Amino acid sequence: MKRMIIAGCIVLVLALTVSVSYGEMRKIAISQANLSDLKGNWIGSRVVGMDRRNTDLEISNDSLPLQCKFTFYDVVAGNKPARTEIYNFKGKINDEGNLFVKGGSLDLELSLYDDGGKKKLEGRYSWAQVNGTLSFKKK
């Protein structure tokens, strides 16, 4: 009986390990070889505190520097009504294989992931003294 309980626990641990590892996203280092995977339209969101707001990313080329266009929806500042702001930047790849943009009031770093055959970009940003996270899926 004791052996059956131990064997059952081992099987349960193995099953949990397989199910957890199956659901994980796999990070892909961005390099010259896969820049074409980034080209196109990405839809996503940014998180500021407890709020989630729509944000789009368009990458219009597949060579460095990447021509990036960020569209920030529902931007609220002070007592002004919500608005949409668009920023064009040149993206680079850092030593960790991440897309990064640093300039003006925007500082961000995005990592590329394979999520079950679908590409995702996720990371952190600082924009106009606001810090948060970004998440995009290829359109």
- Paired residues of 57 in beta bridges: 42, 70
Give the residue ranges of the chain where pLDDT is below 50: 9, 11-22
Quote the CA–CA distance of 68 and 90 in Å, as a whole number.
6
Helix (H, G, I), strand (E, B) or coil at 16: helix
pLDDT at 48: 81
pLDDT at 124: 96
**pTM for the model:** 0.78
Long-range contacts of range 72-78, CB-CB < 8 Å, 24 or more positions apart? 72/46, 72/127, 77/128
**pLDDT, tens only, 102-123:** 888 889 999 999 998 999 999 9
Domains identified in the chain and CATH numbers: 25-138 (2.40.128.120)
Q: What is the pLDDT of residue 10?
A: 59
